[in-house]
Structure 1
């Protein structure tokens, strides 16, 4: 088996174990034996991989996107895991996003004010500013998704 295949199978196993074998069977509609074949390193199963729809269903239920992150790593791509769940539950839509955007921007400006008080932005201060900027970006993405939903 190729190194890539082995790597993907290990992450597939981690995904199934993260969700639990019984819940994984229910979510994918696959048997325990079938799921086991997807991450088996035996030669007779070397060409069997979990279908992408099954991966998506399991990653939705898992604590971490094991297979997606493995695929990204294989391409040299870095993913940033956002531990919070999606903000687009249609609870307020764009109006809620505008309020969240204002709050996040205020937090960014407050962090900037604190960081620049002594005239120097330290590494730790820069990290905090980067975190606030990333959270602001996430609110904008949520807002974009809501606007796209409303324009359909």
Structure 2
């Protein structure tokens, strides 16, 4: 098995262990043995990988998107993991997104104003600005998805 296959299998195993084997079986509809084959390093299982629908189901329940992050790393892509866990499945809509966008932008500008007050942006201030920029970016992604839904 190549380096890529081994890397993906290790991250598949991390994903299953993150969710828990019993929960992973329920979420995917697969047996423990089948899930084990997806991350087995034995020669007879080297060409078996977890189906993408199983990855999606498990990553939704996991604390981190292990397989997606591994795929991105293999392609030289950087992902930003959205650690928000919403209390509801309500998606709002474009109007809610516009409100959230203006609120996030206001927070970013307040952080910037405070950070640049002394003429120097410290590492801590830069990290706060980065956090707010990423949050603003996520609102834009949500807005894009809602707009795409409305055009279908």
Aligned twin of 1:30: 30
Are positions 1:99 and 2:99 aligned together?
yes
Aligned twin of 2:6: 6
Check the 8 A contact 1:38/1:48 in 2, yes or no. yes
2-structure distance, mates of 1:57, 1:66: 12
1-structure distance, mates of 2:64, 2:130: 23
1-structure distance, mates of 2:4, 2:91: 42
Matches within 5 A, 1:76-95: 76-85=76-85, 89-95=89-95
Give, in angstroms, the shift of residue 90 of structure 1. 4.1
Aligned twin of 2:145: 145
Give, in angstroms, the shift of residue 69 of structure 1. 0.8
Partner of 1:84, secondary structure, is coil
Check the 8 A contact 2:15/2:67 in 1, yes or no. yes
2-structure distance, mates of 1:91, 1:31: 33
Instruction: Tell me the TM-score normalised to structure 2 length.
Output: 0.89
Instruction: Tell me the TM-score normalised to structure 1 length.
Output: 0.89
Number of equivalenced pairs:
152
Give the direction of change, closer, same or farther, for the CA distance of 1:124–1:133 in structure 2 (3 Å limit): same
